[in-house]
Amino acid sequence: MSVAVFKQTLWSKKIQNALDTLTGLRTHCDYQFDGEIKAGNKLKITGSVKPTIGTYVPGTDITIENVDGNDQELVIDQFKYFARYFDNVDKAQSIPGVMENDAKECAKYLHEEGDKYVAKIIKDAAEASSGKLAQGTAITPSKTTVIPAIEEGLVALYEKNVNPTSELYGEFSPKMYSFIRQALTETLTNNVELAKKGAVGKYNNVLVCIENLLPENTTKKVKYNIIRTSKAVAFAGQVDTVKAVEKEKGFGDIVKGLYVFGAKIVRPEEIYLILETIPTTTSGVGG
Protein backbone atom coordinates (compact mmCIF):
# COMPACT_ATOMS: atom_id res chain seq x y z
CA MET A 1 0.00 0.00 0.00
CA SER A 2 1.15 3.52 -0.68
CA VAL A 3 2.49 5.44 2.32
CA ALA A 4 0.13 8.27 1.40
CA VAL A 5 -2.88 6.07 1.96
CA PHE A 6 -2.14 5.72 5.67
CA LYS A 7 -0.82 9.20 6.47
CA GLN A 8 -2.87 10.67 9.28
CA THR A 9 -3.32 13.95 7.43
CA LEU A 10 -5.51 12.08 4.93
CA TRP A 11 -7.46 10.07 7.50
CA SER A 12 -10.33 11.13 9.67
CA LYS A 13 -9.72 10.54 13.38
CA LYS A 14 -12.77 8.31 13.31
CA ILE A 15 -12.43 5.37 10.94
CA GLN A 16 -15.59 4.95 8.88
CA ASN A 17 -16.41 1.77 7.05
CA ALA A 18 -18.00 1.77 3.63
CA LEU A 19 -21.78 1.38 3.70
CA ASP A 20 -22.89 -2.23 3.84
CA THR A 21 -24.68 -3.47 0.75
CA LEU A 22 -28.41 -3.69 1.39
CA THR A 23 -28.72 -7.45 1.33
CA GLY A 24 -30.05 -10.25 3.49
CA LEU A 25 -30.24 -13.18 1.09
CA ARG A 26 -27.82 -15.25 3.16
CA THR A 27 -29.31 -14.39 6.55
CA HIS A 28 -32.86 -15.29 5.50
CA CYS A 29 -31.89 -18.94 5.07
CA ASP A 30 -32.07 -21.96 7.34
CA TYR A 31 -28.90 -21.88 9.46
CA GLN A 32 -29.44 -24.99 11.55
CA PHE A 33 -26.49 -26.72 9.82
CA ASP A 34 -23.98 -24.00 10.70
CA GLY A 35 -21.15 -25.18 12.89
CA GLU A 36 -21.14 -28.67 11.35
CA ILE A 37 -19.06 -27.80 8.32
CA LYS A 38 -15.49 -28.05 7.18
CA ALA A 39 -14.04 -27.35 3.74
CA GLY A 40 -15.31 -29.92 1.28
CA ASN A 41 -17.98 -31.38 3.56
CA LYS A 42 -21.28 -32.77 2.37
CA LEU A 43 -24.13 -32.53 4.85
CA LYS A 44 -27.04 -34.94 4.49
CA ILE A 45 -30.39 -33.26 5.09
CA THR A 46 -33.00 -35.87 5.93
CA GLY A 47 -36.66 -34.98 5.64
CA SER A 48 -39.82 -36.94 6.28
CA VAL A 49 -41.92 -38.40 3.48
CA LYS A 50 -45.68 -38.48 3.12
CA PRO A 51 -47.14 -41.63 4.72
CA THR A 52 -49.47 -43.99 2.92
CA ILE A 53 -52.87 -43.88 4.63
CA GLY A 54 -54.68 -47.21 4.50
CA THR A 55 -58.17 -48.32 5.40
CA TYR A 56 -58.28 -50.76 8.27
CA VAL A 57 -60.58 -53.74 7.98
CA PRO A 58 -61.11 -55.46 11.35
CA GLY A 59 -59.57 -58.91 11.48
CA THR A 60 -57.17 -58.36 8.55
CA ASP A 61 -53.45 -57.59 8.45
CA ILE A 62 -52.26 -54.05 7.88
CA THR A 63 -49.52 -53.06 5.41
CA ILE A 64 -46.25 -51.81 6.90
CA GLU A 65 -44.20 -49.44 4.76
CA ASN A 66 -40.51 -48.75 5.08
CA VAL A 67 -39.52 -45.20 6.01
CA ASP A 68 -36.35 -44.34 4.08
CA GLY A 69 -36.65 -40.60 4.44
CA ASN A 70 -36.05 -37.92 1.85
CA ASP A 71 -32.32 -37.22 1.66
CA GLN A 72 -30.70 -34.13 0.17
CA GLU A 73 -27.06 -33.09 0.26
CA LEU A 74 -25.83 -29.65 1.18
CA VAL A 75 -22.39 -29.41 -0.40
CA ILE A 76 -19.85 -27.02 1.11
CA ASP A 77 -17.98 -26.20 -2.07
CA GLN A 78 -17.55 -22.43 -2.09
CA PHE A 79 -14.18 -21.07 -0.93
CA LYS A 80 -13.54 -17.31 -0.91
CA TYR A 81 -10.57 -15.48 0.53
CA PHE A 82 -8.87 -12.12 0.96
CA ALA A 83 -5.17 -11.40 1.47
CA ARG A 84 -3.88 -7.89 2.25
CA TYR A 85 -0.33 -6.69 2.74
CA PHE A 86 0.57 -3.88 5.15
CA ASP A 87 4.07 -2.49 4.90
CA ASN A 88 5.71 -1.54 8.20
CA VAL A 89 6.37 1.98 6.93
CA ASP A 90 2.69 2.43 6.18
CA LYS A 91 1.73 0.94 9.55
CA ALA A 92 4.06 3.33 11.38
CA GLN A 93 2.30 6.31 9.82
CA SER A 94 -1.22 5.04 10.25
CA ILE A 95 -3.65 5.79 13.05
CA PRO A 96 -4.35 2.94 15.49
CA GLY A 97 -6.88 0.33 14.42
CA VAL A 98 -6.46 0.61 10.66
CA MET A 99 -5.36 -3.00 10.16
CA GLU A 100 -8.06 -4.34 12.45
CA ASN A 101 -10.69 -2.24 10.72
CA ASP A 102 -9.51 -3.39 7.31
CA ALA A 103 -9.81 -7.04 8.36
CA LYS A 104 -13.41 -6.44 9.47
CA GLU A 105 -14.18 -4.81 6.13
CA CYS A 106 -12.71 -7.79 4.29
CA ALA A 107 -14.81 -10.19 6.36
CA LYS A 108 -17.90 -8.19 5.47
CA TYR A 109 -17.20 -8.55 1.77
CA LEU A 110 -16.54 -12.26 2.23
CA HIS A 111 -20.01 -12.65 3.72
CA GLU A 112 -21.44 -10.73 0.78
CA GLU A 113 -20.13 -13.52 -1.44
CA GLY A 114 -22.52 -15.80 0.42
CA ASP A 115 -25.42 -13.51 -0.46
CA LYS A 116 -24.39 -13.54 -4.11
CA TYR A 117 -24.26 -17.33 -4.09
CA VAL A 118 -27.80 -17.60 -2.70
CA ALA A 119 -28.91 -15.25 -5.48
CA LYS A 120 -27.17 -17.48 -8.02
CA ILE A 121 -28.79 -20.75 -6.94
CA ILE A 122 -32.22 -19.11 -6.91
CA LYS A 123 -31.59 -17.71 -10.38
CA ASP A 124 -30.41 -21.10 -11.64
CA ALA A 125 -33.50 -22.81 -10.21
CA ALA A 126 -35.79 -20.14 -11.68
CA GLU A 127 -34.37 -20.68 -15.15
CA ALA A 128 -34.01 -24.46 -15.02
CA SER A 129 -36.05 -26.44 -17.54
CA SER A 130 -37.80 -28.27 -14.69
CA GLY A 131 -39.33 -24.97 -13.56
CA LYS A 132 -39.46 -25.83 -9.86
CA LEU A 133 -39.89 -22.25 -8.61
CA ALA A 134 -43.32 -20.68 -8.96
CA GLN A 135 -43.35 -17.29 -10.60
CA GLY A 136 -45.80 -14.85 -12.09
CA THR A 137 -45.64 -12.82 -15.27
CA ALA A 138 -43.15 -9.94 -15.40
CA ILE A 139 -44.41 -6.58 -14.20
CA THR A 140 -43.24 -3.00 -14.40
CA PRO A 141 -43.44 -1.69 -10.81
CA SER A 142 -46.30 0.75 -10.30
CA LYS A 143 -49.11 1.51 -7.86
CA THR A 144 -51.42 -0.83 -9.74
CA THR A 145 -49.07 -3.79 -10.30
CA VAL A 146 -46.92 -4.39 -7.21
CA ILE A 147 -49.45 -5.22 -4.49
CA PRO A 148 -51.56 -7.49 -6.76
CA ALA A 149 -48.35 -9.34 -7.71
CA ILE A 150 -47.52 -9.89 -4.04
CA GLU A 151 -51.04 -11.10 -3.32
CA GLU A 152 -50.81 -13.50 -6.26
CA GLY A 153 -47.57 -14.85 -4.79
CA LEU A 154 -49.10 -15.29 -1.35
CA VAL A 155 -52.04 -17.21 -2.80
CA ALA A 156 -49.62 -19.47 -4.69
CA LEU A 157 -47.69 -20.20 -1.47
CA TYR A 158 -50.84 -20.79 0.58
CA GLU A 159 -52.09 -23.20 -2.07
CA LYS A 160 -48.89 -25.18 -1.51
CA ASN A 161 -49.72 -25.39 2.22
CA VAL A 162 -47.41 -22.62 3.43
CA ASN A 163 -49.14 -21.56 6.63
CA PRO A 164 -50.75 -18.08 6.32
CA THR A 165 -49.56 -17.31 9.84
CA SER A 166 -45.93 -18.22 9.13
CA GLU A 167 -43.45 -15.38 8.73
CA LEU A 168 -42.26 -14.96 5.17
CA TYR A 169 -39.31 -12.95 3.89
CA GLY A 170 -40.04 -10.61 1.02
CA GLU A 171 -36.82 -9.53 -0.69
CA PHE A 172 -37.67 -6.61 -2.95
CA SER A 173 -35.75 -4.15 -5.08
CA PRO A 174 -35.77 -0.49 -3.97
CA LYS A 175 -38.13 0.25 -6.88
CA MET A 176 -40.60 -2.42 -5.77
CA TYR A 177 -40.35 -1.25 -2.16
CA SER A 178 -41.26 2.28 -3.15
CA PHE A 179 -44.72 0.98 -4.12
CA ILE A 180 -45.05 -1.39 -1.15
CA ARG A 181 -44.25 1.23 1.49
CA GLN A 182 -47.73 2.77 1.68
CA ALA A 183 -49.35 -0.66 2.04
CA LEU A 184 -47.24 -1.79 5.02
CA THR A 185 -49.22 -3.04 8.00
CA GLU A 186 -46.23 -2.46 10.29
CA THR A 187 -43.30 -0.10 9.85
CA LEU A 188 -39.74 -0.03 11.15
CA THR A 189 -40.36 3.02 13.35
CA ASN A 190 -39.68 2.00 16.96
CA ASN A 191 -40.06 -1.67 15.99
CA VAL A 192 -37.00 -3.40 17.42
CA GLU A 193 -38.05 -6.88 16.30
CA LEU A 194 -38.34 -5.83 12.66
CA ALA A 195 -34.92 -4.16 12.84
CA LYS A 196 -33.34 -7.35 14.23
CA LYS A 197 -34.62 -9.28 11.23
CA GLY A 198 -33.34 -6.73 8.74
CA ALA A 199 -36.85 -5.75 7.66
CA VAL A 200 -38.07 -2.22 6.95
CA GLY A 201 -41.71 -3.14 7.47
CA LYS A 202 -44.34 -5.84 7.31
CA TYR A 203 -47.08 -6.54 4.79
CA ASN A 204 -49.54 -9.12 6.13
CA ASN A 205 -47.20 -11.99 7.14
CA VAL A 206 -44.35 -10.84 4.88
CA LEU A 207 -41.25 -9.22 6.38
CA VAL A 208 -40.42 -6.59 3.76
CA CYS A 209 -36.68 -6.24 3.09
CA ILE A 210 -34.86 -4.01 0.60
CA GLU A 211 -32.46 -6.15 -1.43
CA ASN A 212 -29.71 -4.91 -3.75
CA LEU A 213 -28.29 -8.30 -4.75
CA LEU A 214 -31.40 -9.82 -6.29
CA PRO A 215 -30.72 -12.24 -9.15
CA GLU A 216 -31.21 -10.82 -12.63
CA ASN A 217 -31.39 -12.10 -16.16
CA THR A 218 -30.05 -9.31 -18.33
CA THR A 219 -30.95 -11.18 -21.51
CA LYS A 220 -34.62 -11.42 -20.58
CA LYS A 221 -34.37 -8.05 -18.82
CA VAL A 222 -36.00 -9.24 -15.61
CA LYS A 223 -35.11 -9.13 -11.95
CA TYR A 224 -36.31 -11.80 -9.51
CA ASN A 225 -37.97 -10.41 -6.39
CA ILE A 226 -38.42 -13.16 -3.84
CA ILE A 227 -41.01 -14.24 -1.28
CA ARG A 228 -39.97 -17.27 0.75
CA THR A 229 -39.93 -19.00 4.11
CA SER A 230 -36.72 -19.19 6.13
CA LYS A 231 -36.69 -22.96 5.53
CA ALA A 232 -36.72 -22.75 1.73
CA VAL A 233 -32.93 -22.43 1.39
CA ALA A 234 -30.36 -24.13 3.62
CA PHE A 235 -27.09 -22.26 4.16
CA ALA A 236 -23.99 -23.23 6.10
CA GLY A 237 -20.79 -21.24 6.24
CA GLN A 238 -18.04 -19.94 8.42
CA VAL A 239 -14.99 -17.72 8.23
CA ASP A 240 -12.64 -20.67 8.53
CA THR A 241 -9.41 -18.70 9.00
CA VAL A 242 -8.43 -15.10 9.68
CA LYS A 243 -4.81 -14.56 10.54
CA ALA A 244 -1.93 -12.12 10.23
CA VAL A 245 1.49 -13.41 9.21
CA GLU A 246 4.81 -11.67 8.67
CA LYS A 247 5.93 -11.45 5.08
CA GLU A 248 8.94 -13.69 4.62
CA LYS A 249 10.77 -11.43 2.18
CA GLY A 250 9.86 -7.94 3.24
CA PHE A 251 8.99 -5.72 6.19
CA GLY A 252 5.32 -5.95 6.92
CA ASP A 253 2.34 -8.13 7.67
CA ILE A 254 -0.12 -10.05 5.52
CA VAL A 255 -3.69 -10.34 6.80
CA LYS A 256 -5.68 -13.12 5.17
CA GLY A 257 -8.99 -14.85 5.65
CA LEU A 258 -10.87 -17.83 4.20
CA TYR A 259 -14.65 -18.23 4.04
CA VAL A 260 -16.15 -21.64 3.26
CA PHE A 261 -19.86 -22.09 2.64
CA GLY A 262 -22.57 -23.83 0.70
CA ALA A 263 -26.29 -23.37 0.03
CA LYS A 264 -29.11 -25.44 -1.41
CA ILE A 265 -32.79 -24.94 -2.16
CA VAL A 266 -34.40 -27.66 -0.05
CA ARG A 267 -38.04 -26.54 -0.17
CA PRO A 268 -38.71 -25.08 -3.63
CA GLU A 269 -42.45 -25.07 -2.96
CA GLU A 270 -41.84 -22.39 -0.31
CA ILE A 271 -40.43 -19.84 -2.78
CA TYR A 272 -42.33 -17.52 -5.09
CA LEU A 273 -40.69 -15.14 -7.56
CA ILE A 274 -42.06 -11.82 -8.74
CA LEU A 275 -40.45 -10.89 -12.04
CA GLU A 276 -39.68 -7.20 -12.39
CA THR A 277 -38.83 -5.68 -15.74
CA ILE A 278 -35.56 -3.76 -15.63
CA PRO A 279 -34.03 -1.08 -17.86
CA THR A 280 -31.54 -2.31 -20.42
CA THR A 281 -28.76 -0.32 -18.69
CA THR A 282 -29.18 -2.13 -15.33
CA SER A 283 -26.81 -4.96 -14.47
CA GLY A 284 -26.80 -7.38 -11.54
CA VAL A 285 -26.26 -10.97 -10.53
CA GLY A 286 -26.20 -13.33 -13.48
CA GLY A 287 -26.73 -12.70 -17.18
Average pLDDT over residues 251-278: 89
pLDDT of residue 177: 95
Structural domain containing residue 258: 25-47+72-277
How does pLDDT run across 136-184, given as a tens digit for each residue? 899 999 999 999 999 999 999 999 999 999 999 999 999 999 999 988 8
pLDDT of residue 121: 95
Average pLDDT over residues 118-123: 96
Residue of 159 and 238 predicted with greater confidence: 159
Sheet holding 233-246, edge to edge: 78-87, 252-265, 233-246
Residue of 222 and 107 predicted with greater confidence: 222
Q: What percent of the chain has pLDDT over 90?
A: 37
pLDDT of residue 116: 95
In a domain, 268, yes or no: yes
Confidence of residue 33 (pLDDT cuts 50, 70, 90): low
Which segment of 35-49, 119-133, 216-230, 242-256 scores lowest on mean pLDDT?
Answer: 35-49
In a domain, 205, yes or no: yes
pLDDT of residue 114: 92
Confidence of residue 284 (pLDDT cuts 50, 70, 90): low
In a domain, 61, yes or no: no
In a domain, 17, yes or no: no
In a domain, 123, yes or no: yes
The mean predicted confidence, pLDDT, of the chain is 80
Q: For the chain, where are the E strands, in sequence order?
A: 42-47, 70-75, 78-87, 134-135, 168-172, 186-187, 201-203, 206-210, 216-217, 222-228, 233-246, 252-265, 271-277
In a domain, 216, yes or no: yes
CA distances from 231 to 60, 97, 228, 251 (A): 41, 39, 8, 49
Residue of 76 and 2 predicted with greater confidence: 76
CA distances from 190 to 50, 76, 78, 287 (A): 43, 39, 38, 39
Confidence of residue 9 (pLDDT cuts 50, 70, 90): very low
In a domain, 124, yes or no: yes
In a domain, 58, yes or no: no
**For the chain, how many structural domains are there in total?**
1
pLDDT of residue 35: 60
Residue of 65 and 1 predicted with greater confidence: 65
pLDDT of residue 287: 57
How does pLDDT run across 62-114, given as a tens digit for each residue? 787 665 555 678 888 898 988 888 776 566 556 677 777 777 788 888 889 99
90 by DSSP, 3-state: which? helix
How does pLDDT run across 179-198, given as a tens digit for each residue? 999 888 777 766 777 777 78
pLDDT of residue 12: 45
pTM for this structure?
Answer: 0.80
